[in-house]
Chain A
Amino acid sequence: MAVTTSTPPDERTPDTAEGAPEPRRRRGNAVDVWLGVIAWVVGIAFFFPVFWMVLTSFKTEADAYTPTPKIIFEPTLEQYEGVFSSGIGPYLANSVGATVISTLLVLLLAIPAAFALSLRPVQKTSDVLFFFISTKMLPVVAAIVPIYVVVNEIGALDNIWTLIVLYTGMNLPIAVWMMRSFFLEVPGELLEQASIDGAPLWRTLREIVLPIISPGIFATALICVIFAWNEFFFAVNLTAANAGTVPVFLVGFITSEGLYWAQLSAAATLAALPVVIAGWVAQNKLVQGLSFGAVK
């Protein structure tokens, strides 16, 4: 994603040049070119492994193992068939379930919380906000032991709802913080106007505030989806065959089929695909949401 949106500096120069005589410090042309080259090199260096993974996933195991890497080869879907037949299905379902349900719960809780903390601030608002973000400061590794003990005691190991609760808790502080910054952009006069007009709070929220911040809600939801989908640590420690998610499945693949590069690539590509697609589809909305308020 990052690569598709980045514009190398050397491509930008013609655009700005057409404007009126700008009092801009002009760098030497050679410097611009070099900066462009560096930008491309760094960009490609970051993207290349991903590209290679996708490429490898369409190879046969034999092609994947040639001493000189093969760029030209006969593409095959054989590895993907292999992945599906090795039982990714339930793991995919678990991932989708945990991601979707936890994200909905986060939105349900974060919207009222952020509304209260931004538009109706009270004395302890900053303390509350700090408390939220402080929950992200503790390393998850340190928290896993008590969590494991509790989950084990209540007999909720390898249960998808355990993950849903944890993912909701994990994403809630971020969602409240993000959403609060969007709420803060809503002009106070709109709420005052609504109260003079006689709109009850829930109608004000639903009919007036939410439509304004919908790009922000969308961006927040997408971030939650990405974090929940990619989450590995809780999943690997608290789930097994029943509630395992795609990242857990992927790890199983590495240990058991570690030498089968092509099939592993196919599984990894499948795991990355939903997030990439979601990001791609939502690109404009995401940027709009994250830069909400920057441009009015």
Chain B
Amino acid sequence: MAEVVFDQASRIYTPGAKPAVDSLDLTVADGELVVLVGPSGSGKSTALRMLAGLEPIDAGSVRIDGRDVVDVPSKDRDIAMVFQNYALYPSKTVAENMAFPLKMRGMDKEERGRRVRQAAEMLGLTDFLDRKPKAMSGGQRQRVAMGRAIVREPQVFLMDEPLSNLDAKMRVQTRAQIAELQNRLAVSTVYVTHDQVEAMTMGDRVAVLADGKLQQYATPPELYDRPTNAFVAGFIGSPAMNLLDLPRSSTGVTLGGVEVPLPREISDAAGSRDRITVGIRPEDWVLESTDADAGSVIKAVVDVVEELGSESYLYAHLAEDTSTSIVVRGPGRVKVRFGDPIAVRPNPEALHVFDVETGQRLP
């Protein structure tokens, strides 16, 4: 158990080129599960590999439990890693796989056996200890990889997209299992994923990365409610937030030929800009009657309806401005179909506003 600190840590593959990880500052508190999330190429896996000692740290430092590990080889960092493809040794049985890191540390056979049995019990692998990885399903292999990490009793768990190779149902199940296990063991964990749902459901805190830079590091609700910039706003949440680049009007902005008033503090923060990016989550639209007065609602035409049972998502384009598309959450069993007109109004209390150029949140 330990605190993990990235202190201005950078990874530069080729001198002069853009760093893969650029001056990352991040602190993982003792026992915390932190998720690094971002699109591919964002540097999230590289950051994890720097912590693991699989990539050099070119600038800055990384500390585990107060100890600078820049020059410490992987095996001496007291970490355990779970890879996306599990990296199980194919010629070894499940028990041998799990015992291997202990054996390499010179632990005696009895203690090894005890720890492996204990981990196997915890993960429901007791009946499979003599099997080879080849004879196991994806979910079972994933659990063996987890088991191999657990038996080490390391200071930090590192997980690199450990659920990506599982099918959807298994993924949801395992997601909960990992979160539960991590809670129980209370071992600091850094978890990498490209899936924002995984990030939101598992992380105590989530670090959003893009282009090698940390965009925001916060708890899931905070990320959702107050994204620090337009990238985070668009990345977190599914379907994604509607981000519309709109001209200012006297009281707010103009959307689809309709005045949308902005709350006072937003309007103050927007200052003298003539355009701002307005973010509206799909659930922050209010569906109105299509007979409503033309000046107060925004008219749109439905392109696609995604019916999910408990709710539905309407993908539509504005009647006034056909190049602008929006996503609106509606109730389940919604009556509209392709080509139907709808009328919507954004909830002014739930608007997010960003600078058009920098993408930074206002205020």
Q: Do A and B come from one complex?
A: yes
- Whole-angstrom distance between the Cβ of A182 and the nearest chain B Cβ: 14
How far, in whole Å, are A196 and B52 apart by their CA atoms in the complex? 8
Q: Which residues of A contact B294 (CB under 8 A)?
A: none
Q: Is the CB of A193 within 8 A of B87?
A: yes
B80, chain A: closest CB distance, angstroms: 7
CB of A15 closer than 8 Å to a CB of B:
no
Contacts of A187 in B (CB 8 A): 85, 87
Q: A189 near B75 (CB under 8 angstroms)?
A: no
Which residues of the other chain, B, contact A211 by a CB distance below 8 angstroms?
90-91
Pick the residue among B73, B83, B90, B91 that contacts A189 (CB under 8 A): B83
B100, A192: Cβ atoms under 8 Å? no
Chain B residues whose CB sits within 8 angstroms of the CB of A199 once the complex forms: 100, 104
A212 touches B91 (CB 8 A): yes
Q: B101 touches which one: A192, A197, A203, A212 (CB < 8 A)?
A: A197
Point out the residue from A190, A192, A197, A212 that lies within 8 Å of B104, measured CB to CB. Answer: A197
Instruction: Report how far A203 CA is from B87 CA in the complex, Å.
Output: 16
Whether A192 lies near B87 (C-beta < 8 A) is: yes
Closest to A208 in B: B89
Q: Which residues of B contact A196 (CB under 8 A)?
A: 52-54, 74-75, 79-81, 101
B335 within 8 A of A: no
Closest to B52 in A: A196
In contact, B89 and A190 (Cβ under 8 angstroms) = yes
Let me know if B105 is at the binding interface, CB within 8 A. yes
Interface of B is mostly: loop
CB nearest to A192 among chain B residues: B54
- Asked if A198 lies at the interface with its beta carbon under 8 angstroms from chain B, I say yes
Whether B83 and A193, one on each chain, are in contact in the complex, defined by CB atoms closer than 8 angstroms, is yes
**A7 touches B (CB below 8 Å):** no
- How many A residues touch B, CB cutoff 8 Å? 16
Q: How distant is the Cα of A187 from the Cα of B84 in the complex, in angstroms?
A: 12
Q: How far is the CA of A211 from the CA of B132 in the complex (A)?
A: 13
Closest to B100 in A: A197
Query: Given contacts A195-B75, A196-B81, is CB(A190)–CB(B87) below 8 Å?
Result: yes
A216 to B100, CA, bound (A): 25
Q: Once bound together, how far apart are the Cα atoms of A106 and B90, in whole Å?
A: 26
Q: With the chains together, A194 CA to B100 CA distance in Å?
A: 9
Given contacts A189-B85, A192-B83, contact A198 B90 (CB under 8 A): no
Cβ distance B86 to chain A, nearest Cβ, rounded Å: 8
Query: Are B75 and A207 touching (Cβ within 8 A)?
Result: no
Cα distance A193–B73 when bound, in Å? 13
Docked Cα-Cα span, A197 to B99, in Å, equals 10
Interface residues of B in 277-330 (CB under 8 A from A): none
A84 CA / B76 CA spacing, docked (Å) = 64
For B80, what are the chain A residues with a Cβ–Cβ distance below 8 Å?
196
Interface residues of A in 169-211 (CB under 8 A from B): 187, 189-190, 192-199, 203, 207-208, 211
Is there contact, CB below 8 Å, between A189 and B87? yes
**In the complex, A197 Cα to B105 Cα: how many Å?**
8
Q: What per-residue 1/0 map shows which CB atoms of B35-76 lie under 8 Å from chain A? A: 000000000000000001110000000000000000001110
Task: Output the least CB separation between B149 and chain A (Å).
Answer: 10
Given the complex of chains A and B, what is the CA–CA distance between A203 and B106 in angstroms?
Answer: 14
Q: Are B75 and A197 in contact (CB under 8 A)?
A: yes
Residue of chain A at shortest CB distance from B96: A207
Q: Which residues of B contact A208 (CB under 8 A)?
A: 89, 91
Give the complex CA separation of A203 and B91 in angstroms: 13
- B89 and A207 contact, CB distance less than 8 A: yes
Min distance, Cβ B131 to any Cβ of chain A, angstroms? 16
CB distance from A193 to the nearest CB of B (A): 4
* CB closest residue in chain A, given B76: A198
Contacts of B105 in A (CB 8 A): 198
Instruction: Looking at the assembled complex, report how far the CB atom of B129 sits from the nearest CB atom of chain A, in whole angstroms.
Output: 18
Name the distance in Å between A232's Cβ and chain B's nearest Cβ: 39
* CA A199 to CA B91, docked complex, whole Å: 15
Give bound CA distance, A190 to B148, whole Å.
Answer: 13
A202 smallest CB distance to B (angstroms): 12
Q: Which positions in B face A, CB cutoff 8 Å?
A: 52-54, 73-75, 79-81, 83-85, 87, 89-92, 100-101, 104-105
Question: Could you pull out 23 A-B pairs where Cβ atoms are within 8 angstroms?
Answer: A187-B85, A187-B87, A189-B84, A189-B85, A190-B87, A192-B87, A193-B81, A193-B89, A194-B89, A195-B54, A195-B73, A196-B52, A196-B53, A196-B54, A197-B100, A198-B75, A198-B101, A207-B89, A208-B91, A211-B90, A211-B91, A212-B90, A212-B91
